[in-house]
Chains A and B, each alone.
Chain A
Amino acid sequence: GENVEQHPSTLSVQEGDSAVIKCTYSDSASNYFPWYKQELGKGPQLIIDIRSNVGEKKDQRIAVTLNKTAKHFSLHITETQPEDSAVYFCAASTTGTASKLTFGTGTRLQVTL
């Protein structure tokens, strides 16, 4: 089955700096890669996703890149703000069949003033 690794497990950046979180996956059949933000005591919130037919996607301060050959994808947050502090999870699955998401282990992002 699919295996998703996520690094780093914790990340501390100063407000205004950029943050990068990286994930690798094992199953070459995976073609859907969402990123979720989870605040304490809440369910994960989808912040951006990318499908295997594109290499990069951007939404304001958030961007995701995908390298299918290397089987890795990354989340980039620019101009970080304190409200970006949360746990971020990457995931991988195949679309069209509602295949289950395989999650990474999470990255705790702390944005300091």
Chain B
Amino acid sequence: GAVVSQHPSWVICKSGTSVKIECRSLDFQATTMFWYRQFPKQSLMLMATSNEGSKATYEQGVEKDKFLINHASLTLSTLTVTSAHPEDSSFYICSAYGGGGLSGNTIYFGEGSWLTVV
């Protein structure tokens, strides 16, 4: 099946700094990518939908100035957590949709990135 790669798998940063997480579709072109966060023992919460070449659409309650999303190419989307605070510590997961081809109209997920803010 299609492969979506996230990097880094885990990151520790100091409070007040920014951290960038990358999401790549390795074998298909992702017209749309989604970013989720997941707290322990909870379901995935959609943060934003990212379409290549356009601004991301954020879900209600998600601060767009804090969670910057860039989808500059059909294989790469990035999530930057700006001025991170301990409450931003979470598991961040991306998914990618290719609209057909190898991805077969299916949404595939990355392996997730653990963010710990100290």
Contacts and interface: CB of A to CB of B under 8 A. Distances in A.
Interface string B89-118: 001010101010000011111111010000
Contacts of B97: 98
A45 B32 contact: no
Given A44-B93, A106-B43, A98 B109 contact: no
Interface residues of B, number: 25
A49 B106 contact: yes
Given A43-B111, A43-B112, A105-B42, 16 more contacts: A34-B107, A41-B112, A42-B111, A43-B4, A43-B6, A44-B93, A44-B109, A45-B109, A46-B108, A89-B44, A98-B32, A98-B49, A98-B97, A101-B107, A105-B43, A106-B43
Interface of A: 32, 34, 36, 41-46, 49, 89, 93, 95-96, 98, 100-101, 103-106
12 contacts: A32-B105, A34-B106, A36-B109, A42-B111, A42-B112, A43-B110, A44-B109, A49-B106, A93-B107, A98-B49, A98-B99, A98-B107
Interface of B: 1, 4, 6, 31-32, 34, 42-44, 46, 49, 91, 93, 95, 97, 99, 105-112, 114
